[in-house]
Structure 1
């Protein structure tokens, strides 16, 4: 019995030590918030000052560019489908969506609006053709643009969710919007005056789910949502007080139509701007306060790295897990 206990402890220690985040790229004068990991080989990042990069060897090397004519754009999200095809979204004015089908050799503008009321927050795709883009409220309703032709054209949804006063979304990692399945269900996460999930059922009706994260100020609320392993995890906090760990993560396990979230019993170490599902009941989160992991669906979190990142994601098809942040930082997570 004693020897079995020793072996068990050694295995646990090995697992803890094996979870590492290793910096693989840095030095570019860009703040990366967009990340799309297509496979174990292909991934894209996008950021401020018009920067975009793609890797085709699992992150070992990156082909960087400043998109010509858009050197001042802040590309806060990217959705990629291969090493050739990707869509980038610029927050701020003008609001822009660009698309490439030749690996970034050229980009086509597929949406542009110069109205300062437009501020784009994030994208999500049900499949290679059907996607959604979320933006901050305009005239009391959240902006939602839909594409059914792989991002070539975008049109506003007919039924838009209503926003409360001073409620908005955060374009911190492009993950305040998550599509759920082929039934066209979607989750929108909000912050500011309140913190809520707006559950879109078939993109035709909207239900409200309260989220018990810190809120009330423009810098507070829910920043990112992830679904997997039969559960849903939400992270956020206050980006102006990034070490404050009070009410920065909550979770739910069960039927999505009757969600009631609980605050994590052991919180991450502070503000988190992104969370992604890995496997089983394991989720990875990151932010300027550091990165954290949960193995029980969000109930308890453990810090694994203190470096600042903005976004993390696992490959859509494969096991590659990357993180990215300010100053062109890109890192790889190994479990």
Structure 2
């Protein structure tokens, strides 16, 4: 989204007992009385963020969790880092010559294959792909339309994916790949609803475009009169739009991030990214694939830019933002603050490896 400074997934493990223990610890902490929180946290072994030294101070709004050991982050100055040892060390695998680009989203398939999106007007919007852990990169897309501004990217599987741009000629523009990001084409816009005046996406944490399953994808918007979520069940060919209760009406307000644990149950977070503005209704949830959205009865206390479901959980998820991390254990109906550190985005891998990243080189892994 122009003029915003461009502030702007779930994967199966056999160790289900670990999931149960983690969920139990979270529930124990959240249901304990406030005066007993410290004791409950110790007794339950509550999950908490453990900061990792990334060796840099760039802002990482792009994050992809592969496992507890492997994660990729992407950020300002064309920076891409990768760890394979749980964050103990990080390898700078940035594409050569990309120092003037702003990476805002990265999708990794494993420790060797990843696709990263650079955002910006005109040819600043680009896509790069690596198949060797970042040793080499191939630029697979460079935007040539001055009216386009790409915000987010998502993949249904290792071959099929989409990227989205702010509206061009009154409609959001969708890019499609069927070869793992090696090549891209602009999809026809006949099935895309008209955008509202001022409506766009937020490149805040790589979660304004998310998918679940082999064909369903959702797009989050803000900046218009109403904050909306658009849904496609055919990989981006046709879309429907639904209003959300998250406030909009200015260029700084709307839905910043989405997460779907299946094609039915989803979460939306956002608010107003200006630090001096309140975000009284920063979260919503859907029980019907995004056709309708309900406000959280107890939302996060401030603007949130990232959200993710805990793997294998039907009710637990994390939301992050500059003022903290919040957790829900009832599918997004109520949220409670877990941490007050600053993060822009969050992601969890199938083996319960959950990661967060943000400003000043901050990267953390959830410890249990």
Moved more, 227-236 or 52-61: 227-236
CA distance in 2, matches of 1:204, 1:284: 30
Indicate whether 1:276 and 2:304 are aligned: no
Residue 333 of structure 1: CA displacement?
1.6
CA RMSD between the two structures: 2.1
Indicate whether 1:307 and 2:341 are aligned: yes
Deviations 1:153-199 (A, max 9, x none): 000112452311110000001101111222x1211111111211111
CA distance in 1, matches of 2:83, 2:55: 16
Indicate whether 1:320 and 2:350 are aligned: no
CA distance in 1, matches of 2:306, 2:164: 16
Residue correspondences, number: 325
CA distance in 2, matches of 1:39, 1:19: 17
Maintained 8 Å contact 1:21/1:334: yes
Maintained 8 Å contact 1:92/1:116: no
CA distance in 2, matches of 1:157, 1:15: 53
Indicate whether 1:69 and 2:97 are aligned: yes
Indicate whether 1:261 and 2:261 are aligned: no
| Cross-structure match for 1:141 | 171
Matches within 5 A, 1:1-335: 13-14=41-42, 18-93=46-121, 94-159=124-189, 161=192, 162-182=194-214, 184-193=215-224, 194-202=226-234, 203-228=236-261, 231-241=265-275, 244-253=278-287, 255-256=288-289, 259-278=291-310, 279-315=313-349, 317-335=350-368
Maintained 8 Å contact 1:242/1:271: no
CA distance in 2, matches of 1:176, 1:318: 24
CA distance in 2, matches of 1:293, 1:334: 15
CA distance in 1, matches of 2:249, 2:91: 41
Residue 41 of structure 1: CA displacement?
2.2
Over 3 Å counting, the alpha-carbon distance change for 1:261 and 1:26 in structure 2 is: same
CA distance in 2, matches of 1:90, 1:15: 44
Residue 117 of structure 1: CA displacement?
2.1
**Larger strand percent:** 1
Moved more, 227-236 or 103-112: 227-236
2:239 alignment partner, SS class:
strand
CA distance in 2, matches of 1:243, 1:274: 18
CA distance in 1, matches of 2:302, 2:44: 20
Residue 231 of structure 1: CA displacement?
2.3
Gaps of 5+ in 2: 1-27
1:75 alignment partner, SS class:
strand
1:110 alignment partner, SS class:
strand
Maintained 8 Å contact 1:242/1:288: no
CA distance in 2, matches of 1:84, 1:137: 33
Gaps of 5+ in 1: 1-5
Maintained 8 Å contact 2:58/2:76: yes
Maintained 8 Å contact 1:35/1:43: yes
Deviations 1:61-91 (A, max 9, x none): 1112443211111010111112211111100
Residue 19 of structure 1: CA displacement?
2.4
CA distance in 2, matches of 1:243, 1:13: 32
Deviations 1:6-28 (A, max 9, x none): 9x969965576612112112451
